[in-house]
């Protein structure tokens, strides 16, 4: 049918794997760009949290050494990127449901690329979320007092943390019967971690039985590190602890997700 | 390499920890350069077979060579030689037609310039040039299937798996798709086609295998299968069930297949339609039994099944829980 040669180029398998990941990621981002309303829905929730905590609850929350809006915004950013990584579960579940993964599995592409491409596009989406929420924060009075460099470090830290978590959500997405269920399944997983944490209020205000968990759990450590970096205040070893959690999580979650992808048919 | 594009030997596939046998000892020899038809109702194991041959699913037992490569041991080699289109493999709704083809081309590791040229060529050939830059969400069912087929062809695979390519399409779209498939085969492509429709298998496939509950129940050319069961179906409708059951023994010897009596309708497969019809009418008239309707028609898959298995096609989706589940999911989404 075609007069053209099939011209299969010869690259190393690794180069092809990277190319496949970028192809899939690009496809996901194109789909996102086509539905701007999806981006609105992703940021509307954190914006409501900003408004709720800044103006409704904020008056009764006392944080030593900061204005509450400065305390709140780094936490909201961490929360937004974590909720953003839930998108990995929803996206993969939809691809599975629609039969796209079926097609990908019959192609000579890198096995990992469907998952890696999805997590990479969700990483880009989280960058967008950080930019939007930072802007919203500025409008409601958020004035970070740390350096620009440490602000960027804080952003990179939470992006990494959310990226690593998204491998876990990839596993959830591949396990769920449909995208609605995928979203529902992530909720009980992240709800206790997000709310029993240092995201909205200082852990010291919580009952003593809850404090050990609230202090040491990974999302709190990440929020503490991000806040410390953004505001230029001491935050102990939390950056390193958050990094360790992130790397540890991806080492466990990525093989789980890949294994699930192999089995799911 | 052998003369066969696809060789599947004693394929077994079970689901739900062995409780369901979707495929039971199926052996196929698909010759290079023609259409090979896999005919059967829902739940007969057709799709499971295609998924095994396209490396999506591994067989529980048996082995298969596609383009000379083992589907379990050399899946990537197999994937480089096949294209897959059909009910379970779909296009991306959020991308345009062109973007879909480009994505599949790039994932096939073809070079970019080639992918662009090939995508345009396929869109042109399949009458999708005007819709090339529209998201496929807006495509009609027929356009979607054509794009789906185009996606399977981007890499020019020598072997094509088409899983129920025309199910749910209007007659004109079916004709268009059939013409495309015929052109492909003229160009040397081997096509393994699954279908529920006898007319489709008849029109396209040189050789056929009929599957029922995961087993091969007949194989041969379409002509051989038809000869085996009679060329036409005579359907006689009586004024009452009583009249029908009185008439049945009178015309019994006109067919070498058992007649099918359902309510007031008597159906039988016959070799020489007009002559047999005339004889049947004479006998029924002579016995003073009243007819309310009469028809001669081409045999359907139902008739093939009836004559091959003695039972009608069962709408038995539960025979394949994995697939039934998928369909339900996709159905809920549509």
pLDDT tens digits, B105-136: 999 999 999 999 999 999 999 999 999 999 99
Helices A179-195 and A218-231: angle between axes, nearest 10 degrees: 70
Query: Region B208-216: what's the mean pLDDT?
Result: 91
For B326, which residue in chain A has the nearest alpha carbon?
A97
The shortest C-alpha distance from A17 to chain B (Å) reads 9
Band of pLDDT at residue B314, cut at 50, 70 and 90: low
Cβ atoms within 10 Å, residue A205? 11
The CATH topology of domain B231-298 is Alpha-Beta Plaits (3.30.70)
Q: Are B126 and B154 in contact (CB under 8 A)?
A: no
d(CA A98, CA B332): 10
DSSP letter for each residue of B265-289: EEEEEESSHHHHHHHHHHHHHHTTP
d(CA B42, CA B46): 8
pLDDT tens digits, B190-206: 999 999 888 888 889 98
Query: Of the candidates B56, B104, B109, which has its C-beta nearest A9's C-beta?
Result: B109
The residue extents of the domains of chain B are 4-226, 231-298
Q: Are A32 and A121 in contact (CB under 8 A)?
A: yes
DSSP letter for each residue of A86-155: HHHHHHHHHHHHHTHHHHHHTSSS-TTHHHHHHHHHHHHHHHHHHHHHHHHHHHTT----S-HHHHHHHH
The shortest C-alpha distance from A148 to chain B (Å) reads 38
pLDDT tens digits, B132-161: 999 999 999 889 989 999 999 999 999 999
The residue among B233, B226, B236, B164 whose CA lies nearest residue B200 is B164
The torsion angle over the Cα atoms of residues B211, B216, B220 and B223, rounded to 10 degrees, is -40
pLDDT tens digits, B289-306: 888 888 887 777 667 777
Band of pLDDT at residue B312, cut at 50, 70 and 90: low
pLDDT tens digits, B237-292: 888 888 888 888 888 787 777 778 888 888 888 877 788 888 888 888 888 888 88
pLDDT at position A207, please?
92
pLDDT at position B326, please?
40
Chain A positions contacting chain B at CB under 8 Å are 1-2, 4-9, 11, 16, 19-20, 23-24, 27, 30-31, 34-35, 97-100, 102-109, 113, 177-178, 265
For B155, which residue in chain A has the nearest alpha carbon?
A6
Query: Region A5-19: what's the mean pLDDT?
Result: 73
Residue B55: list chain A partners with CB under 8 A.
Answer: 105-106
Query: Region A180-187: what's the mean pLDDT?
Result: 89
Interchain contact, A19 vs B153, CB within 8 Å: no
Classify residue B74 as exposed, middle or buried by CB count within 10 Å of its CB (0-12, 13-18, 19+). middle
Domain B4-226 = CATH 3.40.50.300 = yes
- Which residue intervals of chain B are DSSP H helices? 46-53, 75-81, 97-107, 112-125, 141-153, 171-186, 198-204, 222-229, 241-251, 273-286, 301-309, 321-333
Query: Of the candidates B94, B107, B135, which has its C-beta nearest A107's C-beta?
Result: B107
Asked if the interface predicted TM-score (ipTM) of this complex is over 0.95, the answer is no
Interchain contact, B51 vs A5, CB within 8 Å: no
DSSP state, residue A163: H
Encoded tokens for B231: 């060329």
d(CA B45, CA B207): 18
pLDDT tens digits, B29-81: 999 999 999 998 888 899 999 999 999 999 999 999 999 999 999 999 999 99
Residue A11: list chain B partners with CB under 8 A.
Answer: 109
Residue B121: list chain A partners with CB under 8 A.
Answer: 1-2, 4
CB pairs < 8 Å spanning A and B: 108
d(CA A198, CA A210): 12
pLDDT at position A3, please?
41
Residue B325: list chain A partners with CB under 8 A.
Answer: 177
pLDDT score of B315 more than 80: no
Query: Region A62-77: what's the mean pLDDT?
Result: 90
pLDDT score of A2 more than 50: no
Mean pLDDT of the residues in chain A: 90
Band of pLDDT at residue A259, cut at 50, 70 and 90: very high
Which residue, chain included where needed, has tokens 């000379």?
B68
The shortest C-alpha distance from A237 to chain B (Å) reads 43
Interchain contact, B90 vs A105, CB within 8 Å: no
A15, A99, A104, best to mutate vs chain B, most B CBs in 10 Å: A99
Looking at per-residue confidence, does A99 or A174 come out higher?
A174
The shortest C-alpha distance from A174 to chain B (Å) reads 13
pLDDT at position B52, please?
95
User: H or E element: which one contains B29?
Assistant: strand B20-31
DSSP state, residue A53: I
């Amino acid at each position: 049918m075609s007069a053209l040669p099939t011209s299969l180029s010869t690259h190393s398998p690794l180069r092809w794997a990277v190319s496949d990941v970028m192809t899939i990621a690009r496809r996901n981002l194109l789909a996102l760009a086509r539905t701007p309303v999806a981006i609105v829905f992703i940021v509307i929730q954190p914006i409501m949290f900003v408004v709720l905590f800044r103006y409704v609850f904020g008056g009764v929350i006392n944080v030593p050494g900061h204005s509450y809006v400065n305390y709140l915004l780094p936490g909201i950013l961490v929360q937004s990127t974590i909720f953003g990584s839930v998108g990995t579960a929803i996206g993969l579940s939809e691809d599975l449901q629609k039969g796209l993964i079926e097609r990908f599995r019959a192609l000579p592409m890198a096995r990992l690329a469907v998952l890696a491409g999805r997590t990479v596009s969700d990483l880009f989406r989280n960058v967008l979320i950080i930019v939007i929420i930072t802007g919203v924060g500025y409008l409601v009075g958020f004035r970070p007092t740390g350096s620009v460099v440490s602000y960027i470090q804080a952003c990179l830290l939470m992006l990494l943390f959310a990226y690593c978590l998204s491998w876990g959500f990839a596993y959830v997405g591949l396990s769920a019967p449909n995208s609605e269920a995928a979203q529902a399944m992530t909720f009980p997983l992240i709800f206790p971690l997000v709310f029993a944490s240092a995201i909205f209020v200082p852990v010291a205000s919580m009952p003593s039985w809850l404090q050990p968990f609230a202090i040491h759990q990974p999302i709190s450590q990440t929020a503490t590190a991000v806040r410390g970096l953004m505001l230029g205040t001491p935050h102990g070893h939390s950056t390193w602890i958050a990094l360790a959690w992130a790397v540890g999580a991806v080492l466990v979650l990525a093989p789980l997700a890949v294994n699930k992808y192999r089995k799911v048919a | 390499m052998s003369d066969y594009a696809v060789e599947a030997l004693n394929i077994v596939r079970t689901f739900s920890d062995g409780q369901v046998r979707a495929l039971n000892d199926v052996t196929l020899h698909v010759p290079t350069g023609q259409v090979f038809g896999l005919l059967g109702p829902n739940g007969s194991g057709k799709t499971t077979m295609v998924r095994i041959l396209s490396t999506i699913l591994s067989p529980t037992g048996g082995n298969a060579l596609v383009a000379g490569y083992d589907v379990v041991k050399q899946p990537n080699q197999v994937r480089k030689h096949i294209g897959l289109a059909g009910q379970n493999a779909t296009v991306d709704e959020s991308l345009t037609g062109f973007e879909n083809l480009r994505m599949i081309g790039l994932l096939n590791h073809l070079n970019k310039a080639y992918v662009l040229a090939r995508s345009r060529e396929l869109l042109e050939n399949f009458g999708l040039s005007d819709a090339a830059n529209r998201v496929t969400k807006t495509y009609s069912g027929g356009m979607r299937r054509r794009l789906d087929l185009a996606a399977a062809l981007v890499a020019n695979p020598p072997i094509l798996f088409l899983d129920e390519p025309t199910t749910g399409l209007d007659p004109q779209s079916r004709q268009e798709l059939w013409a495309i498939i015929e052109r492909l085969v003229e160009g040397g492509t081997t096509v393994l086609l699954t279908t529920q429709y006898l007319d489709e298998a008849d029109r396209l496939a040189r050789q056929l295998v009929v599957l029922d509950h995961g087993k091969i129940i007949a194989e041969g050319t379409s002509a051989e299968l038809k000869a085996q069961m009679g060329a036409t179906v005579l359907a006689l409708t009586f004024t009452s069930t009583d009249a029908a059951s009185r008439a049945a023994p009178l015309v019994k010897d006109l067919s070498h297949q058992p007649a099918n009596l359902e309510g007031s309708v008597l159906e039988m497969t016959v070799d020489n339609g007009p002559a047999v019809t005339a004889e049947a009418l004479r006998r029924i008239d002579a016995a003073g039994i009243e007819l309310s309707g009469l028809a001669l028609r081409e045999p359907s898959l139902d008739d093939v099944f009836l004559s091959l298995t003695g039972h009608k096609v069962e709408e038995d989706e539960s025979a394949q829980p994995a697939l039934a589940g998928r369909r339900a999911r996709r159905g809920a989404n549509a």
